[in-house]
Structure 1
Amino acid sequence: MRGALIVALACLALNTAEAQTVNKSKFGKGLQFIAADSSFSLKLGTRFQMLYQGAINNSTDQLDDRFLIRRARLKFEGFAYSPKLEYKIELGLSNSDIGNDDPARFNNADNIILDAVAMWNFAPNWELWVGQTKLPGNRERIISSQKMQFVDRSLLNSRFNIDRDAGLQLHHTHTMGTTVVRESGSISMGEGRDITVNNAGGYDYTAKIEVMPFGEFEGGGAYVGSDLVREETPKLAIAAAYNFNDNASREGGQLGDFLVDERDLRTLFVDYMFKYRGFSSMAEYANKTAPAGPVVLRSDDGAVEETFVTGNAFNIQAGYLFPSNWEVAGRYTTYNPDKATNLRSQEQYTLGLSKYISGHSLKVQSDVTLQDQPGRENAYLFRLQMEVAL
C-alpha cells in the first residue's frame, strides 16, 4: 500500500511536469510547475539526512555507534483552483519517519503521511487549515527538521511536544504599528497522525498567541534555526500556547505507546526566538500535567508499569554564524518528570558546529552532548549529519 501511494504521487508529478512549464526551479526550492491557465501549481521537493551517532558511557568506556538514514522525505505543495487555497502533502519514508500504531489495540499501519493539509485564505489575514499537520505548539517542534540549528531537537521536545494531529486550525495575523501579532487555535483528534480508528477518548484543543514587537523576521526566520539571513535589525518573537487533550490514550498525548486507561492532559508552552546580525537565541519552557494522576498501571509490588509522561522541561540555545557560514552553537536542556511517574530526570549540555554550504538545503552539522542523569554514570553522545534537500 505504501509503495502504491508513492508510485501514484510520483506519476502525478511526472505527468504534471510534461504538461506544464518549469517556473523558478532552483537548488533547494524543488521542481516548480504552474498550470497554463493558472488553475493550480505544484512544487515537488525531496530531502534526506544521513546520520552517524555514537555514545560512550563513563563507567564502561564502551562505544555504541551506528549509521542511519534519520529522515527521508517527499513534499508536494502549491495552490489548487485559486492562490487563496494552498495545500501541502509531506511523506516520510525512513523507519524513523514511519513508526507504527500499537497492533495489540489497533490495526497496524505505516505512518507514511506526515502532512496532508489544505489552507484556505478566506479573508484578509485569516486562514482555515483542514487536514493533518503540526499543531500550534512549541516553537522547536514547528521548526522544520530541515531547518534546525542542531543535529536534532532537544529533550524538551521529545518528551513534551504535541506533534501532528488531524482536524481543523484557524490562524489570524494582524499588526499594531511595527508589532505583529499572530493567534491560532485548533481542534483535533488527539491521538496523533495517521490514526484510522474511531476517537479513543475526547478531542484535543490548542490555542496559541505570538507577538513580534520589532516586526516580521526575514524569510520566516521566527521558525528557522540560526540567523542565516543576518537580520539587519534586532528581531524578537515571544509565544505562549496551551493544549488540552481530553481523555488522552497515548503516553504523550499525540505520541508514544497506547495505555490501558485514559487521562486528561494539559500542556503549557512558553518560548522566544531572537536574531540579530548572525547571532540567534531560542528558549522554551514546557509543563505537562494530568490532574487525575499520570500513572495508569502498577505491578503487584507497586512498581509503575504504564504512565503518561508529565512534568516540566526547559531548553535554551544560542549560536553565532560567522561570515564563512560556519556556526558555533550551545544548548542546555533540563527535563524534570513528575515523581509519580518514576521516570528519570536528566540534564543535557550540547556543543554544536555546523557548516552551511547552501543554507539549510545543503549542510553538515555535528554536536557533542553530555547527558547527566542522577543515579547513573554520565554519558557522551556525539553526532555527525549531512542534509541534502533539492
Structure 2
Amino acid sequence: MKIKVLLILFFSTFVFKSKAQEISVPEFGKGILNIQKKDSTFSMNFSARMQFLAISQWEDQNGDLVNSESNFLVRRARLKFKGFAFSPKLQYKIEIGLSNRDIAGGSEFTNNTPRYILDALVKWNFHENFWLWVGQTKLPGNRERVISSGDLSLVDRSLLNVNFNIDRDVGLQLRHHFKLSNSFIVREMFAFSQGEGRNVTTGNLGGYQYTGRIELLPFGTFQQNGDYSGVDFLREQNLKVAIGATYDFNNDAVKSRSNLGTYMKTDTGFHETNISTFFIDTMLKYKGFSFLGEYASRDADNPIAKNADGSLTGDVVEIGNALNLQAGYLFTSNYEVTGRYTNINFNKNITGKGLEEQFTLGVSKYIVGHKLKIQSDISYLSVNKGNDQLMCRLQFDVHF
C-alpha cells in the first residue's frame, strides 16, 4: 500500500507541474494510474501484478510416494506500461519482470545480466486494418503461450507449452484482419525475428526466424478478447469458436528448441540446423464452458550436434509432437473446475526421451476475475521410463 501511495504522489507531482496532463486512478485491476495529455498526444497506463506459488511434489515408486519436495515462490512480479504516443494509432507496451523466475537465463549471450525486459514494443496502425509491430514481444505461436500467464484457468501452462512454445523474440510483426461475412473474421500474422529469444546482446549467431499464423473466427469475435483468456467470465450466449494455425521456420538455428533451449556448441563454434515448428489450436466458449485444444510438432533437418571429427557433443534438437486438451466450467459462484490432459511424445531415438502424459484437475476461485484469484491444481505425470510424479500447487494472484 505504501508503494502505491508513493507512486501516486510521484506521478501526481509530475502531472501538476506540467499542468498539461490529466491523471486518474482506475478501478481495481485496470492499472494503478492513467495519465493522458489534454491534447491527446500521449497516454500511459501503469500497472503491476504478482503471483505467489506453493508447490509440493512426490515421486511415485510402485504406489509409494517418496522423495517429497516443496517450495514457496514469488512466481511472477511484473510492472507494465502501455499507452499511445503522438497518436492513438501509435501504441507502445513495456513489461518488466522482477522475480527470479522472470529474469533467469542470463549468460554471455545476454551480456551476463538479468533478463529484466519481457516486452518492449511499438505498434503502428499505418493503414486501415494493418498493424506493424516493432520490438521484443511474444511471437504469434501457440494460443496457450500468447494467453497471459495471469489469465490462465490453471496455475500454469501445460507441458506442451513448456517443451514446444516459441516464446518471445526481437523483430517485426505484420498483422491484419478482415471479414468474410458479417460474422466470419479472419486474422493474419507474420513475424520476422532474430531467432534466438529475448534480450540477446551478442547479435545473430545463426539465421533468422520466420513465423506465420492465421486465425478463423466463424461466429464472430469473443467478448473482450475472450479467445485469449482461459475462462468464460462473460458467459457467451452464442457459441464462439477460434481456430488458429502457426508455422515457424528458424533458419540455421543454434538452440535446441528453435529460439529457446540451450545453445548447441561444437569445437568449431555452433551447430546450425533448420528447425520447423507447427501448431494448430482452438478455443471454444459457451455459457460458462470453455475448451482449449492444441497440437504441436517440431522437426529439424539435422537434429544431432557433432564436432568437426564427427563425435557427438551431447546436444540435440528436441524434436517430437504434443497434444493438450483442456476444459473448464465457471459456476455462477465464480468457482471454476478445470481438467487437462497433456501428451508429450519426443523422438526417443534422437532425444533419449519418450512418451509423457500428464493429468491435471484444478479448482479456482475468482474474486475479481483474473485480477484477484486463488487457484489450486493437482497433476499426475506418467513417464514411460519410470519416475512418475504427483504434484500439488496453490497460487494467489493479484493484479493492480
Q: Which TM class, normalised by the smaller chain length?
A: over 0.9
What residue in structure 2 maps to residue 367 of structure 1? 377
1:27 counterpart letter in structure 2: F
What residue in structure 2 maps to residue 74 of structure 1? 79
1:83 counterpart letter in structure 2: P
What residue in structure 1 maps to residue 107 of structure 2? 102
1:110 CA drift (Å): 1.4
Q: Within 5 Å, which residues of 2 pair with 1:152-167?
A: 152-167=156-171
**In structure 2, which of residues 213, 235, 252 is the aligned counterpart of residue 208 of structure 1?**
213
Q: Within 5 Å, which residues of 2 pair with 1:47-66?
A: 47-59=49-61, 60-66=65-71
SS in 1 for 2:150: coil
1:146-182 C-alpha deviation (Å, 9 max, x unpaired): 1011100000001010000000000001112210100
User: Aligned equivalents of 2:347 and 2:8: distance in 1?
Assistant: 47
Cα distance change on mapping 1:34 and 1:337 into 2, 3 Å:
same
Q: If the length of structure 2 is used for normalisation, what is the TM-score? A: 0.91
User: Aligned equivalents of 1:376 and 1:83: distance in 2?
Assistant: 55
Paired residues of 2:110 and 2:199 also in contact (CA < 8 A): no
1:357 CA drift (Å): 0.3
2:115 counterpart letter in structure 1: N
Cα distance change on mapping 1:17 and 1:162 into 2, 3 Å:
farther
RMSD (CA atoms): 2.0
User: Aligned equivalents of 1:24 and 1:16: distance in 2?
Assistant: 15
User: Aligned equivalents of 2:319 and 2:100: distance in 1?
Assistant: 27
What residue in structure 2 maps to residue 328 of structure 1? 337
Cα distance change on mapping 1:159 and 1:15 into 2, 3 Å:
farther
1:228 CA drift (Å): 1.0
Cα distance change on mapping 1:287 and 1:11 into 2, 3 Å:
farther
1:88-121 C-alpha deviation (Å, 9 max, x unpaired): 0000111111112433x66312110000000000
Paired residues of 1:311 and 1:336 also in contact (CA < 8 A): yes
What residue in structure 2 maps to residue 353 of structure 1? 363
What residue in structure 2 maps to residue 319 of structure 1? 328
User: Aligned equivalents of 1:359 and 1:43: distance in 2?
Assistant: 19
1:250 CA drift (Å): 1.4
Cα distance change on mapping 1:296 and 1:355 into 2, 3 Å:
same
SS in 2 for 1:197: coil
Cα distance change on mapping 1:65 and 1:17 into 2, 3 Å:
farther
SS in 2 for 1:140: helix
Deviates more, 1:57-66 or 1:333-342: 57-66
Cα distance change on mapping 1:364 and 1:379 into 2, 3 Å:
same
User: Aligned equivalents of 1:276 and 1:47: distance in 2?
Assistant: 28
Cα distance change on mapping 1:10 and 1:77 into 2, 3 Å:
farther
> Which 5+ residue runs of structure 2 have no aligned equivalent?
1-6, 266-270
1:24 CA drift (Å): 6.3
Paired residues of 1:43 and 1:78 also in contact (CA < 8 A): yes
Q: Within 5 Å, which residues of 2 pair with 1:24-43?
A: 25-30=26-31, 31-43=33-45
Cα distance change on mapping 1:106 and 1:81 into 2, 3 Å:
closer
Q: Within 5 Å, which residues of 2 pair with 1:1-390?
A: 16-18=14-16, 19=18, 20-23=21-24, 25-30=26-31, 31-59=33-61, 60-103=65-108, 107-177=111-181, 178-260=183-265, 261-292=271-302, 294-297=303-306, 305-339=314-348, 340-390=350-400
2:87 counterpart letter in structure 1: S
Cα distance change on mapping 1:170 and 1:329 into 2, 3 Å:
same
Aligned residues, how many? 379
Cα distance change on mapping 1:58 and 1:205 into 2, 3 Å:
same
User: Aligned equivalents of 1:140 and 1:381: distance in 2?
Assistant: 21
Paired residues of 2:305 and 2:312 also in contact (CA < 8 A): no
1:11 CA drift (Å): 11
SS in 1 for 2:78: strand
1:22 counterpart letter in structure 2: I
User: Aligned equivalents of 2:230 and 2:214: distance in 1?
Assistant: 20
Cα distance change on mapping 1:11 and 1:192 into 2, 3 Å:
farther
In percent, how many aligned pairs have the same letter? Answer: 47
1:255-311 C-alpha deviation (Å, 9 max, x unpaired): 12111112111000000000000000000000000022x22149x9x8872112111
User: Aligned equivalents of 1:23 and 1:233: distance in 2?
Assistant: 36
What residue in structure 2 maps to residue 3 of structure 1? none
Cα distance change on mapping 1:15 and 1:171 into 2, 3 Å:
farther
Paired residues of 1:100 and 1:108 also in contact (CA < 8 A): no
1:17-66 C-alpha deviation (Å, 9 max, x unpaired): 55532346110000211112211000000001000001011225232001
1:13 CA drift (Å): 5.4
User: Aligned equivalents of 2:95 and 2:51: distance in 1?
Assistant: 15
> Which 5+ residue runs of structure 1 have no aligned equivalent?
1-8
User: Aligned equivalents of 2:38 and 2:225: distance in 1?
Assistant: 29
1:48 counterpart letter in structure 2: M
SS in 1 for 2:66: coil
Paired residues of 2:132 and 2:172 also in contact (CA < 8 A): yes
SS in 1 for 2:333: coil
Paired residues of 1:251 and 1:308 also in contact (CA < 8 A): yes
Cα distance change on mapping 1:66 and 1:371 into 2, 3 Å:
same
SS in 2 for 1:61: strand
Paired residues of 1:13 and 1:44 also in contact (CA < 8 A): no
1:12 CA drift (Å): 8.6
Deviates more, 1:370-379 or 1:137-146: 370-379
SS in 2 for 1:58: strand
